[in-house]
């Protein structure tokens, strides 16, 4: 049998949870039902011990990671730089929305599709409202995220994957890439220069996340995976929506597959919804944090970095002062004319 819970879970993961296949390849055969139950209990104990999650949640994470790998056609989108010594076992995980990219990547993508007449105005209006809330309030609603992903799955049902990937590439190049925070990109490049893996972990569609990762030279991306059959989206989900606990489940699976030591890893996010993922790491960093995450980060001694402009000014000076300054500046310009 494997010598440690980590090795046990790695072998179980490689078997895709087929306990009979796993044990017959690593122990003795044949196996009866009692032996399979014992193995299942051991795998569950290993997942709980290593990552504080249930075996079902771990399995959902495996499905999400393998779905992401299948979407990309490989595990790693960008190979490591051969001139940089690799720090095996260390990685950095970045949320996308409001951490790497200003605002919501899914909504920017949806607006790009709308400009290409992919949607009608009545379909895009709720999405535009959610973008306005997210941009100015600086926090995301779990209900908005879940509803948005369900709506997105319905939008793409029956659509060609090839067509969607092409649209993703166009929208990333014309809109999303330039919305990246330079400070966050510098942090990611710092990890790459140290020979560490850099992964995006996001609720946004995996095709969009992986194109972003490719454009920025990151190792790979885990995103929400829509089921594909015969080259078209079915409208069903594979694994978890990678939001909140779903990110933790996927990172646990990825860490097992890639042999990562999470005590030597770093995670970055703007949202308190990602505390489950942040709490897994040896180093957690709050980037452009919402109010709840800022409080948690300060209480736990996590690093905080803020690269925003409008909301940062509102928090520093207050809305009345900014409004007064705006009107004063406008009046001065009018007077000068």
Which are the catalytic amino acids? 95, 97
Residue with tokens 């059959």: 229
Residue with tokens 């030597």: 264
DSSP-derived pairing of the beta strands 266-269 and 232-238: unpaired
Residue with tokens 């809330």: 133
Q: Which is it for the CA torsion 180, 182, 188, 193, positive or negative?
A: positive
Burial (0-12, 13-18, 19+ Cβ within 10 Å), 157: middle
Query: Residues 68, 74: contact at Cβ < 8 Å?
Result: no
Question: Edge-to-edge strand order for the sheet containing 232-238?
Answer: 232-238, 220-229, 197-205, 91-94, 266-269, 283-287, 303-305
Burial (0-12, 13-18, 19+ Cβ within 10 Å), 114: middle
Query: Residues 202, 95: contact at Cβ < 8 Å?
Result: yes
Provide the CB-side half-sphere exposure for 265 (13 A, CA): 26
Could you tell me the CA-to-CA distances from 128 to 83, 133, 144, 185, 318 in Å, in that order? 44, 9, 12, 26, 25
């Amino acid at each position: 049998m494997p010598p440690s819970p980590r090795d046990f879970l790695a072998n179980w993961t490689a078997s895709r949870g087929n306990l009979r296949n796993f044990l017959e390849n690593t122990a003795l055969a044949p196996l009866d039902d009692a032996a399979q139950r014992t193995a299942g209990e051991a795998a569950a104990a290993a997942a709980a011990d290593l990552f504080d999650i249930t075996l079902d949640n771990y399995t959902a994470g495996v499905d999400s990671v393998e779905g992401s790998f299948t979407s990309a056609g490989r595990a790693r989108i960008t190979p490591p730089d051969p001139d940089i010594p690799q720090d095996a076992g260390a990685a950095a995980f970045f949320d996308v929305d409001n951490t790497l990219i200003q605002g919501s990547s899914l909504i920017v993508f949806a607006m790009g599709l709308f400009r290409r007449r992919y949607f009608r105005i009545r379909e895009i209006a709720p999405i535009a409202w959610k973008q306005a809330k997210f941009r100015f309030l600086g926090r995301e609603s779990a209900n908005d995220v879940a509803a948005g992903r369900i709506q997105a799955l319905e939008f793409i049902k029956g659509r060609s994957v090839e067509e969607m990937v092409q649209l993703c590439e166009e929208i990333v190049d014309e809109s999303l890439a330039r919305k990246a925070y330079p400070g966050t990109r510098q942090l990611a490049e710092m990890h790459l220069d140290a020979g560490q893996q850099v992964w995006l972990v996001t609720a946004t569609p995996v095709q969009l996340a992986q194109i972003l990762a490719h454009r920025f030279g990151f190792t790979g991306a885990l995103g929400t995976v829509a089921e594909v059959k015969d080259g078209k989206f079915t409208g069903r989900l594979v694994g978890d929506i990678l939001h909140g606990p779903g990110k933790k489940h996927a990172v646990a699976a990825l860490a097992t597959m890639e042999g990562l030591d999470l005590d030597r890893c770093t995670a970055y996010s703007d949202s308190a919804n990602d505390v489950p993922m942040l709490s897994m790491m040896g180093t957690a960093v709050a980037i452009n944090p919402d109010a709840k995450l800022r409080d948690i980060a300060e209480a736990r001694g996590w690093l905080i970095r803020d690269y925003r402009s409008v909301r940062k000014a509102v928090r520093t000076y207050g809305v009345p002062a900014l409004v007064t300054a705006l009107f004063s500046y406008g009046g001065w310009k009018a007077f000068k004319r």
